[in-house]
Amino acid sequence: MTRKMPPFVTFTTGAQLLIDEGLVESITPDGLRYIAREVEDWPFGNKPDKHPYVMVGNARTMETGKFLAFFKDGPSRGGRGPNKK
C-alpha cells in the first residue's frame, strides 16, 4: 500500500518525512533550515526562479513533491546519510 503524502510540509514535518522515506538517517528541523539558508539551489523562496513558500499561520510550508525531489534528485544534502535499513 502506498502511503498518501501530505500536499505541503513544514521544516518540522519535512525533516521527519525525509527520515520516513529513507532519504537520510536523521535530520532535525534546524538542520533543514540550515540547508535552506546555505544551499544555493534550494528550490523555495521569494525569488522569481524559486517555488514560493505557502504561509500557514506563521509557518512556511513547501510543496511536498518539489521538496522530496530536491533531496532525491540532487547530491547528498545533509543529515546523517541515507537510511540503509
Q: What is the pLDDT of residues 18-70, one digit of tens each?
A: 999 999 889 999 999 999 999 999 999 999 999 999 999 999 999 999 999 99
Say what the pTM is.
Answer: 0.83
What pLDDT score was predicted for residue 75? 65
**Residues 33/51, Cβ–Cβ less than 8 Å:** no
Cα separation, 80 vs 77, whole angstroms? 9
- Which parts of the chain fold into alpha helices (H)? 11-20, 29-38, 64-73
What pLDDT score was predicted for residue 85? 45
What pLDDT score was predicted for residue 57? 95
Residue 51's CB: how many other CB atoms inside 10 A?
15
What pLDDT score was predicted for residue 44? 97
**Residues 64/71, Cβ–Cβ less than 8 Å:** no
